Amino acid sequence: MRELDKEIVVSTISRLCLEANTNLPLDVAKAINHAKDNEVSACGRDVLTQISRNIDIAREQHMPLCQDTGAAVFFVELGRDVHLNFDLEEAINEGVRDGYTQGYLRKSMVRDPLKRVNTNDNTPAIIYLKSVAGEKLKVTFAPKGGGTENMSTLKLLMPYAGEEAVKEFIIDTVKQAGPNPCPPVIVGVGIGGTFEKAAYLAKEALLRPFDIVHSDPYYANMEQELLERINALGIGPMGLGGRTTALRVLINVFPCHIASLPVAVNMQCHCARHLEHEI
Amino acid sequence: MMKRITTPLTTEVISTLNCGEQVLLSGIIYTARDSAHKRLTDSIKKGEEIPFNLQGQIIYYVGPTPARPGQVIGSAGPTTSTRMDEYAPLLMEHGLKGMIGKGKRNESVRKSIQAHQAVYFAAVGGAAALISQSIISAKVLAYPELGPEAIYQLEVKDFPVTVVNDVYGRDMYEEGIAKYKI
C-alpha cells in the first residue's frame, strides 16, 4: 500500500491546469499544420495560419490558447494499492482553485445553472473516477470550452436504424453546428451504453492520441469514412468555407441494451487541450 | 494588401465591405457578452443612459482571461455570437454599426444588419493569444462586478477579422459552404 500526500495531488492539479491551457498537445498542433498545408481555400489557410501562430505564441509566452479556459474536466485512475487519507475530490478542487487563480485563467463556472453567479475560482471540477490496478494515481485534465460543448448532441436511435443512421446523425451534428464550435473540430463519438454512458464515451474518445488507430478495423474504417464525409460538407476552418472541417473522428463503443442504440457526439474545437500526469 | 479600417464606422466605409473580405481593424471597440447585453438592452428599454454612446461603434463578443501584471489584457478571442442574437437588433436600432464574434447569426440579426447598414465580422475563435497582441489598451468601462463579462473599452491596432454578413445581405458561412461542398 502506498500512501499519497495531499499536497502533491493539489500541486500536480494546479500545474496541469496552467500547462494544459497554454500548451497544445503535439499531435493536435501537427494535424493543424498539416491541414494548413493542404487546405484549398485561401481564407481557410489564413485561419489555420492564425491558429498555428496562436499555438506558438501561447507556448512561448505562457498565455492561454483560448480565453475560454473551460470547465475543469478530470479523468482520474486511482490505483487500488494507493491509500489516501484525504478527500480526492476536495484535493482536485483545491488544485483547480490554485491553478486558475495563480495562472490567470478565466473562471467560467456558475454556482447554479439558473441563478448563474460565478464561483470565481472555476470550481467545482467535473471528475470521473476509475479504480485500476497498481499503486499510481493517473490524472488526465481536459478543460472544455462552452462554445463547442453547446454544439454536442445525443440521440437514442432504434436498434434497427443501424450503421447508416448512426453515421447520418454524427454528420448532421457537425453540419448543424456549422461555424459555431470553432472548426476544424475533433468529433468525439460514443455509441452504446445507456443515455449518460454514451455521452461519457464520446467525451473520453476525445482523449485518444491522433496517431492511434481504432483497435477494431470496423470502427477504424467508419472513423475514416466519417472524416471524409464531414470534410466534404465544405464548412471549413472557422466555417468560412474549405475542406478542413474536422481533424479527426474518434469513436468509443460499449455494449448496450437489446432495445437501445444510444449515440452521443461531443464536439471539440481545434483547441483540443488535454494533458495527463501520473503520480 | 489587406484593407485597413478605423472605428467609429461610417455608412460609407461599411458599404465598401464585402462578405469574405479580410480586414485589419484599428481604433476603439467595446466588449460585451451575454450578461452585459442583457443589462444594456434592459437599460435601453427603460429609457436609461447606457455606459457608452453606440453611434458608429463596434461591439466585440469576448470575455478575456485576466491580465497578468504588466499585460494589457489576457487572451481575448471571440465567443459564439449566436447567444447575442436576442439583443443585437435593438443595439443596431440605437446606432451600433459593427459586431465581432464567431458563428452564425439568426434571420432577425441579418435583416437588422441590412436595415441599419451595419456589418458582422468573424475573428478566429481559439486564436486568443494571437488576437491579444493587437489590443494596445484595455480598461473596464462598466459592470466590473461581472468579471470577465464586464464591458471593456479596447484600443486595437490591425485586429484581423473577416466580413461574414455585409449590408448587401450576403453571408460568408453560406457562400463558403456552397463553394467548397463536394
Nearest Cα of chain A lies from the Cα of B177 at a distance, in angstroms, of: 5
Cα torsion angle, A243, B79, B99, B156, sign:
negative
Q: Verify whether the Cβ–Cβ distance B65 to A106 is below 8 Å.
A: yes
Q: Name the residue facing A67 among B62, B82, B173 (closest C-beta).
A: B62
Nearest CA in chain A to B133: A57
Mean pLDDT of B35-61: 96
A163 and A192 in contact (C-beta within 8 Å)?
no
Neighbour tally for B140: CB within 10 Å: 13
Closest CA to B123 of B151, B154, B87, B159: B159
Q: Name the residue facing A63 among B63, B75, B164 (closest C-beta).
A: B75
B65 interfaces chain A, CB cutoff of 8 Å: yes
Q: Verify whether the Cβ–Cβ distance B20 to A235 is below 8 Å.
A: no
Angle, vertex CA A156, rays to CA A153 and CA A162, nearest 5: 105
With beta carbons under 8 A apart, name residues in chain A contacting B130: 50, 53-54, 57
Q: Verify whether the Cβ–Cβ distance A233 to B177 is below 8 Å.
A: yes
Nearest Cα of chain A lies from the Cα of B4 at a distance, in angstroms, of: 17
Cα torsion angle, B132, A177, A110, B146, sign:
positive
**pLDDT(B152) > 80:** yes
Q: Name the residue facing B173 among A65, A146, A179 (closest C-beta).
A: A179
Query: In whole angstroms, what is the distance from residue A246 CA to residue A182 CA?
Result: 10
Angle, vertex CA A115, rays to CA A113 and CA A120, nearest 5: 80
Q: Verify whether the Cβ–Cβ distance B103 to A242 is below 8 Å.
A: no
Query: In whole angstroms, what is the distance from residue A134 CA to residue A203 CA?
Result: 25
Closest CA to A15 of A125, A79, A84, A94: A94
pLDDT value of position A212: 97
Does the bond joining B89 to the residue before it have cis omega, within 30 degrees of 0?
Answer: no
Closest CA to B92 of B143, B50, B41, B51: B41
Q: Verify whether the Cβ–Cβ distance A67 to B64 is below 8 Å.
A: yes
Burial (CB count <10 Å: 0-12, 13-18, 19+), residue A66: buried
Domain ranges for chain A, please list them.
2-20+65-143, 146-272
Query: In whole angstroms, what is the distance from residue B127 CA to residue B119 CA?
Result: 21
Nearest CA in chain A to B171: A240
With beta carbons under 8 A apart, name residues in chain B contacting A245: none
Q: Name the residue facing B124 among A50, A61, A233 (closest C-beta).
A: A50
Q: What is the pLDDT of residues B86-100, one digit of tens each?
A: 999 999 999 999 999
Task: Find the helix packing angle between A162-177 and A217-231, rounded to 10°.
Answer: 40
Q: Is A161 helix (H, G, I), strand (E, B) or coil?
A: helix
Beta-carbon contacts below 8 Å between A and B: 160
Query: In whole angstroms, what is the distance from residue B147 CA to residue B134 CA?
Result: 22
Domains of chain B, start order:
3-180 (3.20.130.10)
Query: In whole angstroms, what is the distance from residue A34 CA to residue A37 CA?
Result: 5
pLDDT value of position B2: 85
For residue A226 the three cell numbers come to 466519417
pLDDT value of position B148: 83
pLDDT value of position B47: 95
A102 interfaces chain B, CB cutoff of 8 Å: no
Query: In whole angstroms, what is the distance from residue A215 CA to residue A157 CA?
Result: 24
Q: Verify whether the Cβ–Cβ distance B65 to A51 is below 8 Å.
A: no
A105 interfaces chain B, CB cutoff of 8 Å: yes
N-terminal to C-terminal alpha carbon distance within chain A: 14
Read off the amino acid at residue A169.
F
Q: What is the pLDDT of residues B153-167, one digit of tens each?
A: 999 999 999 999 999
Task: Write down the pTM of the prediction.
Answer: 0.96
Neighbour tally for B16: CB within 10 Å: 12
Q: Which residues of chain A have pLDDT under 70?
A: none
Nearest Cα of chain B lies from the Cα of A189 at a distance, in angstroms, of: 22
A209 interfaces chain B, CB cutoff of 8 Å: no
Q: What is the pLDDT of residues B24-35, one digit of tens each?
A: 999 999 999 999
Q: Verify whether the Cβ–Cβ distance A232 to B79 is below 8 Å.
A: no
Q: Model confidence at B147, in pLDDT bands (50, 70, 90)?
A: confident
Does the bond joining B78 to the residue before it have cis omega, within 30 degrees of 0?
Answer: no
B104 interfaces chain A, CB cutoff of 8 Å: yes
